[in-house]
Amino acid sequence: MSALTRCLLPGMLTLAIAPPAAAPLEIKLATLVPAHTTWHQALLEMGNTWNKTTNGRVTLTVHPGGEAGIEQSVITQMRGDVAVLQATFVTSVGLAELDESFNVLSLP
């Protein structure tokens, strides 16, 4: 085995075994939370943390104040093969639209 082959073979094996770099991921989150509120700021901070922790591979776009629609339409936009939205921050009312057993969360 030549010296060149001995140098190239470990490098080629490393490239073949190493997992491919993860593709960037953009998560679009819709919520009824009004813009510029404490809840909205918390969601933005969460997105910044994800971005920093993943070295920019994960980004979060927050659509506040119902700009993506009411909770029922947001949930519909999350379904299907080509989901427009990947996440939502819903109220107990929105959860109850999915399944009425979530109404237990609204009990006093």
Q: Tens digit of pLDDT for each residue in 78-101?
A: 887 778 999 998 888 888 888 999
What is the Cα–Cα distance from 30 to 6, expressed in whole angstroms?
54
Q: How confident is the chain (108 residues) per 10-residue block, as mean pLDDT?
A: 52 51 86 95 95 95 94 87 87 88 88
Residue 97: per-residue pLDDT: 85
Dihedral sign, Cα of residue 86, residue 92, residue 97, residue 102: positive
Question: What's the per-residue H, E or C state across 7-46?
Answer: HHHHHHHHHHHCCCCCCCEEEEEEECCCCCCHHHHHHHHH
Per DSSP, the three-state class of 65 is coil
Output the pLDDT for position 49: 96
Give the residue extent of every domain in the chain: 23-106
